Amino acid sequence: MRDTFIDPSAANFQAFKDLPRDTPINMLNLLRYRERAEYPAGHEHAGKGWSGRRAYQEYGITSGPIFRKLGGQILWRGRFETIVTGPEDESWDDGFIAQYPNAGAFFAMIKDPDYQRAVINRTAALIDSRLVRFAPDEAGEGFG
């Protein structure tokens, strides 16, 4: 079985923190949901039998106001269909690109106490994920 990732490693998060904090950032999110969300015993949503997708929707409901308050917006979202170039055994359920006005807004979001309470839904929902930071660039008609 290949490695799965829900939270950043210390080294990856440090690399993120070492990048400029005052420029806009785009975060590519790739998501693979658990069949059934896995909440800690005693959590208010434990035992509800939610799917991973439903738990992630709850994460969006509870974290969305914080994301928007800090100037975040979703630039693109889509449903996975197939890998064209890449590992044949890799698949995702959903993907989206979240834009933040700057890395400071991202840090403010993850430090927000309401966000920290909401993130348990994300953790319960996902079996694997990727979060990749990009610097926005000019759109155009060609690939280069």
**Spatial contact of 44 and 90, defined as CB atoms under 8 Å apart:** no
pLDDT digits (tens, 9 = 90+) for 5-29: 999 999 999 999 999 999 999 999 9
Q: What is the mean pLDDT of residues 34-44?
A: 94
* Residue with the larger pLDDT of the pair 50 and 143: 50
Task: Give percent above pLDDT 70 in the chain.
Answer: 99
Radius of gyration of the chain (CA): 16
pLDDT over 90 at 2, yes or no: no
What's the maximum distance between 2 C-alpha atoms anywhere in the chain?
A: 53
Adjacency order of strands within the sheet including 94-100: 73-79, 94-100, 25-33, 126-134
Q: In the chain, what are the domains?
A: 24-134 (3.30.70.100)
pLDDT over 60 at 123, yes or no: yes
